[in-house]
Structure formats: C-alpha cells, structure tokens
Amino acid sequence: MPQTRGRPRSVESPTGLGTAEDVLHAAGQLFSDRGFSATSTHAIADAAGIRQASLYHYFASKNEILLALLVGTVSPSVGTARSLLATQAPAAARLWALCAWDARLLVNDRFNVGSLYLQPEVNGDYFTEFHALRRELRQAYGQLICDCGDENAVEMIDLVLGLVESVILLRRRDPDGVDDHTAGLVADGALRLISFPPQDFVAAREAGVRLLAALPDSAVRPPG
C-alpha cells in the first residue's frame, strides 16, 4: 500500500490530491490504455509529474500500484456488503442494493481498472489481498441469493457476479454508454436472473433503491 511520506515534488500535483493519488491516477490510465506489462514506472512517474526515483517513496513496485488500484475496485463493495448483511431488510432488496452499488462502483471508476482483472500478473501471490476481498464479496452475493430462496444459489453466484461485472466490458465497447442508470438495470437483471417472483419485484426494487440511497456515497469513486 502507498507510503505517506515522500520527497518534495518540483511541479504542482495534477490531481490536487497529493503525489500518491497522482501516481494512481497516472497508472490507472496507462495500465488501461497500454496494459500492465507495457507500462514502465518511468512512464507512470512522468505522467504523474514526478521523478522515477520519487515514485518509490510512495510505492515499492509497479505491482504495489496495481494492487492499490484493484483493491479500490472491490474494497468499497465489500464494506457495503458487510453493512447490508447486517441489516434486517428483505434479502431481495439487499441483493438489489449490492448489485447496484457494485456496478455503480465499476461504472464510476475513472479508467475502468476492472478491465485489468484478467491480466495474467494478477494471478500471482502478490495480489492475495485483492483475491481475498473478491472471495468475501462473492460469499456475500451467495448468502443474499440463498436468502432470496433460490434453490440453485451456488450456481447463480457467478452468473450474478458476471452480470454486475459486465459493465466493465460495456465500458470498453462504449465508454459513454454506461452510467448510474445502467447500474440500476444491472440490479434489476440480477433479480430476474435468480427467478425472483415477478409479483414481488417492484416492492423489492423500491426497497433496494431506499437501501442504496441510505448508503454513504463517498466510496463510490475508487482511486484512479
């Protein structure tokens, strides 16, 4: 994770959020545009407006930068899932809210960092923290799907997650074609995917919208 101290910089912070965020911002764009392997720390430092040597005062390696970006695409949703699992609201409403939140997080990630999930480097041991968070999120989806009464909950988890994460590919195809409204449509689709009773759909959705509105919005935009 990024360090809190570093050497003074010679130019103003491009993001206004400090050097560590400048590095994440620059890396997010470069990783998404060029790919992880094709991006050097020199290129990241140059885009962030700092010297390459200064970058290492904030991040020990390029892997550490990627890890911070990846964790930023899932950690907020894990926190939201924990909160939703602790409430007494109907399971379908909580599932709707989690799907909408998770999809909205991916929609609002400035550089679509989720597109890096399938990079071969991400399978390495260095990214254990990221994979542990994804497993916890997957388990939360499974619990909510099961609580909705779906007899095939285990089989449905990856289908629901795949639907939520489909916004990543939609953004690559049409960057301007997805927004917060898309996140709501994804959540609607998740309830239909698990064959939630049509007669109860509207009530579940409305309750999910209320739950979503009550959640803090500050975590929706991850680093990048």
- % of the chain exceeding 90 in pLDDT: 81
pLDDT given at position 141: 97
pLDDT given at position 179: 92
Same domain, 168 and 198: yes
pLDDT given at position 173: 92
Q: Which of 207, 209, 203 lies closest to 185 in space, CA to CA?
A: 209
Number of domains in the chain: 2
Same domain, 56 and 32: yes
Query: Domain containing 116: what range?
Result: 73-214
Radius of gyration of the chain (CA): 19
pLDDT given at position 74: 96
| Residue 2 scores a pLDDT above 60 | no
Same domain, 107 and 202: yes
120 inside domain: yes
Same domain, 79 and 184: yes
Burial class (CB in 10 A: 0-12, 13-18, 19+), 33: exposed
pTM, whole model, 2 decimals? Answer: 0.88
| Residue 217 scores a pLDDT above 70 | no
**What average pLDDT does range 87-113 have in this prediction?**
95
**What average pLDDT does range 45-53 have in this prediction?**
94
Q: What is the pLDDT of residues 134-168, one digit of tens each?
A: 999 999 999 999 999 877 888 899 999 999 999 99
What is the CB neighbour count within 10 angstroms for residue 224?
Answer: 22
Q: Which of 187, 197, 212 lies closest to 150 in space, CA to CA?
A: 197
pLDDT given at position 175: 86
